[in-house]
């Protein structure tokens, strides 16, 4: 399974690069941290007012606790857990935190937290909206071999919008067959959870 995934990912690389333009993202790549269930890491927002924390387990629980902390008051809020792997980064304007949670070998959850108020708030319904948009573009006789997001960013000068590229190889729902590369680009407005632009590329079966 692992070698097949690596092969398809390599095949998809050119497609991913062709449907994502760096100009759509911020002027420079966001500083990010990689997470795992044993991680003890932190990442401050660019304005230094907030800090994202990952704290490895102190007990038999096989997961790391995730917090967002107010740098002035040191008060922190538990916002979830990491059981496998993940990635986190701040928007350039420090208004939002992006979290990619690879909670399963074949699935990934996208979460974004808004810190424009006094208390961090997760944007509810984001992940399900993205998945619905992806599966709406998949033929009815196909399903995904896995769902991963190799490219994600906040839009340039607009942290209320994220640009997401999904890697979701297609396999037949019935019978057998190898995965066919399928990439979907979604531009998502975080305020109203509306997909304002999209593109897809996939290899058609002969």
Range of the domain at 38: 2-202
Tell me the pLDDT tens digit for each residue of 56-74.
876 566 788 999 999 999 9
Strand order in the sheet with 41-44: 41-44, 50-55, 64-70, 76-82
**What are the angstrom distances between the C-alpha of 185 and each of 36, 94, 121?**
26, 24, 25
Residue 71 CA neighbour count, 13 Å, CB half: 13
Identify the pLDDT of residue 179.
76
For residue 177, pLDDT beyond 90: no
Residue 31 buriedness (CB in 10 A; 0-12 / 13-18 / 19+): exposed
Sign of dihedral through CA atoms 93, 167, 10, 16? negative
Task: Please state, in angstroms and rounded to a whole number, the distance separating the CA atoms of residues 142 and 135.
Answer: 10
pLDDT of amino acid 204: 41
**In the prediction, which pLDDT does 106 show?**
81
Q: Distance between CA 104 and CA 88 in Å, rounded?
A: 17
Total domains present in the chain = 1
- Tell me the DSSP string of 38-53: T--EEEE-TTSSEEEE
pLDDT score of 19 more than 70? no
Instruction: State the pLDDT at residue 26.
Output: 74
- The pTM (predicted TM-score) of the whole model is 0.84
pLDDT in tens, 21-45: 445 887 777 899 999 888 889 999 9
Which residue would you say has higher pLDDT here, 82 or 59? 82
- Token pair for residue 85? 């792997």
* Residue 5: per-residue pLDDT: 46
Whole-number CA gyration radius for the chain: 18
Q: Three-state SS for 73?
A: coil
pLDDT of 77 above 90:
yes
């Amino acid at each position: 399974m692992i070698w097949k995934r690596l092969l398809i990912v390599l095949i998809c690389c050119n497609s991913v690069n062709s449907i994502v333009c760096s100009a759509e993202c911020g002027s420079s790549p966001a500083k990010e941290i990689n997470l795992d269930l044993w991680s003890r890491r932190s990442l401050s927002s660019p304005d230094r007012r907030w800090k994202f924390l990952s704290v490895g387990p102190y007990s038999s629980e096989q997961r790391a606790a995730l917090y967002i902390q107010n740098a002035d008051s040191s008060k922190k809020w538990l916002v979830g857990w990491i059981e496998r792997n993940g990635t986190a980064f701040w928007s350039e304007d420090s208004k939002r935190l992006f979290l990619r949670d690879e909670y399963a070998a074949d699935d990934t959850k996208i979460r974004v937290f808004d810190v424009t108020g006094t208390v961090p708030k997760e944007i509810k319904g984001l992940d399900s909206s993205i998945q619905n948009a992806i599966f709406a573009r998949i033929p009815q006789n196909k399903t995904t071999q896995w769902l991963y997001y190799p490219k994600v960013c906040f839009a340039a000068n607009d942290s209320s919008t994220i640009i997401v590229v999904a890697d979701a190889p297609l396999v037949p729902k019935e019978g057998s067959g190898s995965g066919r590369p399928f990439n979907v680009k979604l531009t998502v407005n975080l305020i109203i959870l509306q997909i304002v632009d999209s593109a897809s590329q996939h290899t058609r079966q002969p």
